[in-house]
Structure 1
Amino acid sequence: MARANTKIGDIFSVKINDSSKKYFQYIVSDLTQLNSDVIRAFKKVHPVNANLDDLTEIVNGEVEFYAHCVTKLGLKMGYWEKIGNTNDVGNFDDVLFRSSGDNPQTKVSQDWWVWKINEEQRQVGKLEGENRKAEVGSVIPPDSIVHRMQTGKYDFVYPEFE
């Protein structure tokens, strides 16, 4: 098996079902979260047999969510395939992540930490205002990334904020 290598700017295709697929892009590494890959997943659904030669059509699409993951692992395990690379990784200065200081089985956490990519985490307690829009900041397994792209939700237990 060939060694799976990924780099910033890589775009990946994810099969959503037998007839459709979506795309995501590896945009940056986040030193705040284990130097993990940060991806932006795009909302638009494409026919499974579509070949997009113009990657700008993909990267100019609406972003559905951001997440930390190990792109190499998902590639190696066959959850997605690399289709190309572009230097256009968008603007991610305002992307906000959250992490709970509570046990994952806690129903509603009051111990939230938030951060922007490559910035220090800060404890905010209860999630209020803009912090409520923060994405789950854990490093997400490849199968859970695919599940969210298919359903709009993760397939694991994580505290809520209300």
Structure 2
Amino acid sequence: MKRVSTKIGDVFSVKVDTDNVKCFQLIAFDLYQLNSDVIRVFDEVYPIGSIPDLSVIVKSEVAFYAHCVTKFGTKMGLWEKVGNTTDIGETSHIIFRGTSDYGTKRGEEPIKISRNWYVWRLGDLQTVRVGDLEGVNRKAEIGLVMTPYDIVDRIKTGNYHGFYPGFL
């Protein structure tokens, strides 16, 4: 199998149906979350075979940010690299969230709403315990490292299909 290498600035395309793709870009590695890749996924849909210049793609609206392993998705054939650009946008506003209320003990129902959240900004090595998500923290993305399948599902549907607690 061919060795796949990725680097910050790489732009990838993902088929969303038989005729269209969406794009995302590797923008950082998050030391707090296993040094995993951080991507920004763009809203714009393009017909297969007519992906515009990278400078146009990276200026389009961002749908979401996520942690994943871009190499795995490439090896699995779920997305393909279309180029690289040094324009990775502003990253200081990106916030992720996590909670210890994830998962269940045997015989118990999953916790549907957590009031035990922590958040961190991309680039920070420390989290801040916030309890309830309020203000800007309500926009924090789930900070788990997602599988390539999870990323494709969210690109296609706007949601992750696995369980994770919500907030008030």
**Would the TM-score normalized by the shorter structure come out above 0.5?**
yes
Summarize the alignment of residues 33-112 of structure 1 with structure 2, pairs less than 5 Å apart.
Answer: 33-52=33-52, 54-104=53-103, 105-112=110-117
Give me the whole-angstrom Cα distance separating, in 2, the residues matched to 1:64 and 1:51.
18
The CA RMSD measured in Å over matched residues stands at 0.9
Rg bigger for which structure?
Answer: 2
AA aligned opposite 1:36:
S
3-state SS, counterpart of residue 140 of structure 1: coil
Which runs of 5 or more structure 1 residues have no equivalent in the other structure? Answer: none
3-state SS, counterpart of residue 130 of structure 1: helix
1:137 maps onto 2:137 in alignment: no
Post-superposition CA distance 1:85-131 (Å, at most 9, x none): 00000001011100011133320001101000121111111111111
Instruction: Indicate the residue corresponding to 2:28 in structure 1.
Output: 28
Moved segments of 4+, more than 3 Å: none
Q: Percent identity?
A: 52
Instruction: Indicate the residue corresponding to 2:107 in structure 1.
Output: none
Q: In the comparison of the two structures, how many residue pairs are matched?
A: 161
Give me the whole-angstrom Cα distance separating, in 2, the residues matched to 1:59 and 1:72.
20
Deviation at 1:29, TM superposition (A): 0.3
Give me the whole-angstrom Cα distance separating, in 2, the residues matched to 1:57 and 1:50.
12
Give me the whole-angstrom Cα distance separating, in 2, the residues matched to 1:45 and 1:37.
23
AA aligned opposite 2:49:
N
Give me the whole-angstrom Cα distance separating, in 2, the residues matched to 1:160 and 1:55.
35
TM-score by length of 1: 0.97
3-state SS, counterpart of residue 78 of structure 1: coil
TM-score by length of 2: 0.93
AA aligned opposite 1:155:
H
Give me the whole-angstrom Cα distance separating, in 1, the residues matched to 2:42 and 2:68.
15
